[in-house]
Amino acid sequence: MGAEHPECPERLTAIGDQLIAAGLDVHVTRHEAPAATREQLSRVHDAAYVEAIEQAAPASGLRYLDPDTALNPHSVEAALHAAGAVVSAVDLVCAGKHQTAFCAVRPPGHHAESRRAMGFCVFNNVAVGAAHALAVHGLSRVAIVDFDVHHGNGTEEMFSDDPRVLMVSTFQYPLYPYSGVDNPAPNMVNIPLSAGSGGAAFRDAVLGHWLPALDAHRPELLLVSAGFDAHRDDPLAGLEFTEHDFAWVTRELMAVARRHAAGRIVSSLEGGYALSALGRSAAAHVRELIAA
Ligand SMILES: [Zn+2]
């Protein structure tokens, strides 16, 4: 996204390093991410938007899609593979080859709307995966869990009032993108948290709001928009979570998945911009995902 941009390649290096440091790398199976197809993307994105993005990569330099979101000559390919990673993970998990999967991808996705790139996001990776699970694997109920510090406005826009998809989220409010507090759709369980909220407030929201909604919905697959920018070290926001909170919520989600979804969870990286905290948080998340 350009020099000095927080959504930088070193984010994935930091996660990879911490998986090694935590001794987890030997316990994960790595898969290459195929590019998402136009058909897969068009389940949640406007077809004309997909075509426009496919043509939008600059020959050199940067092209800005919004003030925060830029393409370099390779970004469209990366975005196609980021969405394709979640599709592939859904295929692997639904086929029983793995019970859980984590997609270490960039760019992130949850701000991308059906016809708009924004907030570092081009394609809505988790939404593409959820739509794929419904369309191809015959599932009738999925849940999307979003604990990124920013509200997942794109995912909300795509699935509001779709009874097949329950979205539960927490996010700092007020904060970019300033949405999520006025949606009456019954399938959207949005819990805004004020600046300075820590793990205790997060756990209260999960126990009091997310888990009852998830148990009522009985999802056959959980998808996670795993943003780690609610960490206290993160420079882009003001919540006070630690990696222990991310480990805790992952354990709770694993229990939900065991109750309703044969243990199936597909998680995909969203935000997280303090490199050390991001690496530790993602490793804590993966450690719980592979404890199945
Ligand atoms: Zn975020």
Q: Two tokens at 128?
A: 């593409």
CA distance 82 to 192: 27
Residue 220 — pLDDT band, cuts 50, 70, 90?
very high
Q: Which of 219, 232, 207 is nearest to 165 (CA)?
A: 219
Of the residues 98, 111, 217, 260, only one is catalytic, namely: 111
Q: Is 209 a catalytic residue?
A: no
pLDDT of residue 265: 98
Neighbours of 74 (CB within 10 A): 9
Reduced to 3 states (helix: H, G, I; strand: E, B; else coil), residue 20 is: helix
pLDDT of residue 292: 63
Q: Is a pLDDT exceeding 70 seen at residue 12?
A: yes
- Is 138 exposed, middle or buried, given 0-12, 13-18 or 19+ CB atoms closer than 10 A? exposed
What amino acid is encoded at 163 in this protein?
P
How far, in Å, from the CA of 270 to the mean position of ligand 1? Answer: 6
How far, in Å, from the CA of 272 to the mean position of ligand 1? Answer: 7
What DSSP character marks residue 193? E
Ligand 1 (ion): residues with CB under 5 Å are 148, 150, 227, 229, 271
Q: Which helix (H) or strand (E) holds 265?
A: strand 265-269
Query: Structure pTM?
Result: 0.98
Q: What is the pLDDT of residues 184-209, one digit of tens each?
A: 999 999 999 999 999 999 999 999 99
How far, in Å, from the CA of 269 to the mean position of ligand 1? Answer: 10
Evaluate whether 181 touches 160 at the Cβ level (below 8 Å): no
